[in-house]
Amino acid sequence: MSTPRLNDFARRLGPGLITGAADDDPSGIATYSQAGSQFRFGLVWTLLLTTPLMIGIQMLSARIGWVTGEGLGANIAKVCPRWLTLLLVGLLVVANTINIAADIGAMGEAVRLLAGGHVVPYVIGLGVVSIAGQVYFSYERTVRILKWLTLALFSYVAVILSVSVPWRQVIAEGAAPWAYFPPGVTRAEYASMVVAVLGTTISPYLFFWQAAQEVEDNHRRPEAASLRSHPEYAAEHLGRIKQDTYVGMILSNAVALCIVVATAVTLNLKGITNIQTSSQAAEALRPVAGEFAFAVFALGIIGTGLLAVPILAGSAAYAVSEVFGWKAGLSRGFREARGFYTIIIVATVIGTLVSVFEVDPIKALVWSAVVNGVISVPIMVVMMWIGQSPRIMGALTMSRRHRVFGWAATGLMGLAVAVMLLT
């Protein structure tokens, strides 16, 4: 690919790429590390299954934001009772705040592993950096920083390249997961881990963020509203959304695959199967895979956390602001969007304080997973309804193939939530 074409391709990437990268946050890394260390390659199939479904539902969220010029919160408020809208958005804020706490805590632990000292100053410093970046940087600079932070994902590619991987075994167990079942693990524990992986890859905050970023991009193009109904203009931008989302989600799950395989090779095959956090995974890698793999894994936790925390806080702020009709957006200044930035600050401060007081991160993530699971299914159902509604989407409703993948993702999440609640 020539340099001009490569530059054009890179410019077309944005909300989808950043959203996909944010999915591999420190709490997600912990989940994938657990899957690899405990179940070896037996859960690789979940990542292959969720990739097209993840693409389908994220393309829908972006499409809704671009076509309507409004975020998911505003669109959900149009079709749901007020009490249900407030309940869903309120639970989203709670789940995001818990995730922020887990991610900031994981970043603090990763810095401690690399630099020594006590974790609390690192946690506070990371919380301050996250808030300052969103409040003081312009939208353009924030997006540039987030795009650069997606490079942190390649640290996990470096880890997998630094160890010897039995790829035939990976393919065999990934294609036939029943071929390997860890001794002493119950079917309920296996089901719980499957649900955890699904809940990590398909999360409500990603829906709200990608839709909101398409709205932000529209606001930066004054001609967008008048040209949206023009077939060529619509085809060009929906094509960009498709390309952007494909790249972001495939990259996200490819990196998740690297984490599962790397921890399976270095930890499971050495008899280390009890990994609870991402920092534990990094520490366990040190004696098994060497200093390089340890350092790169830890740096990846810090980089992905710096990417994910603003998106967790930002998606909560977008959702609340859209529902209450407040001015919102990283392209607006603090004085113009006080409510929006207040939500970002409060969510990040609470998340930081939870980390400082050392609330059990595993219990916190379990509750976050439960809350995310409870709200993800109704949100996805409403999104599918909106995406098929000519009244809201005009002539740009979902294609038949897109509906198949969207409803498949919704059904899979519904099944996952049912399993989670029954086990």
Asked if the model's pLDDT at residue 340 lies above 90, the reply is yes
Say what the pLDDT of residue 239 is.
84
SS3 for 202-236, per residue? CCHHHHHHHHHHHHHHHHCCCCHHHHCCCHHHHHH
Q: How far is CA 103 from CA 108, 134, 234, 284, in A?
A: 9, 17, 37, 19
Q: What's the chain's average pLDDT? A: 82
Which tops the pLDDT comparison, 66 or 417?
Answer: 66
Which tops the pLDDT comparison, 12 or 67?
Answer: 67
Say what the pLDDT of residue 102 is.
86
Query: What's the first-to-final CA gap in the chain, in angstroms?
Result: 50
Amino acid letter at 82? R
Say what the pLDDT of residue 316 is.
95
Q: Residues with Cβ < 8 Å from 78, sequence gap 6 or more?
A: 386, 392
Say what the pLDDT of residue 245 is.
92
Domain residue ranges of the chain, discontinuous segments joined by +: 14-422
Asked if the model's pLDDT at residue 46 lies above 70, the reply is yes
> What is the rounded CA–CA span in Å between residue 244 and residue 59?
9
- Give the torsion sign (CA, 255, 238, 63, 411): negative
Could you tell me the pLDDT band of residue 234, with boundaries at 50, 70 and 90? confident
Could you tell me the pLDDT band of residue 174, with boundaries at 50, 70 and 90? confident
Asked if the model's pLDDT at residue 333 lies above 80, the reply is yes
Say what the pLDDT of residue 212 is.
92
Instruction: Compute the C-alpha angle 26/122/355, nearest 5°.
Output: 60
> What is the rounded CA–CA span in Å between residue 114 and residue 395?
54
Say what the pLDDT of residue 289 is.
57
Say what the pLDDT of residue 166 is.
86
Say what the pLDDT of residue 253 is.
92
Q: How far is CA 4 from CA 9, 110, 236, in A?
A: 9, 38, 18
Say what the pLDDT of residue 208 is.
94
Exposure string (b/e) for 229-255, b if CB count within 10 Å is 16 or more? eeeeebeebbebbbebbbbbbebbbbb
Two tokens at 100? 């922020």
Closest CA to 214 of 348, 5, 60: 60
Say what the pLDDT of residue 223 is.
59
Tens-place pLDDT, residues 74-88: 999 999 899 999 999
Say what the pLDDT of residue 62 is.
92
Half-sphere exposure (Cβ direction) of 228: Cα atoms closer than 13 Å: 21
Could you tell me the pLDDT band of residue 207, with boundaries at 50, 70 and 90? very high
Asked if the model's pLDDT at residue 415 lies above 70, the reply is yes
pTM exceeding the 0.75 threshold for the entire prediction? yes
**DSSP one-letter string for 5-27:** HHHHHHHH-SHHHHHHHHTS-HH
Asked if the model's pLDDT at residue 358 lies above 70, the reply is no
Give the residue ranges of DSSP H helices in 267-360.
278-289, 291-324, 338-356
Tens-place pLDDT, residues 245-272: 999 999 899 989 988 998 888 877 777 7
State which fold the 14-422 domain adopts: Amino acid/polyamine transporter I (1.20.1740)
Contact between 43 and 171 (Cβ < 8 Å)? no
Tens-place pLDDT, residues 22-33: 888 888 888 888
Contact between 186 and 35 (Cβ < 8 Å)? no
Tens-place pLDDT, residues 142-168: 777 777 777 777 777 777 877 788 888
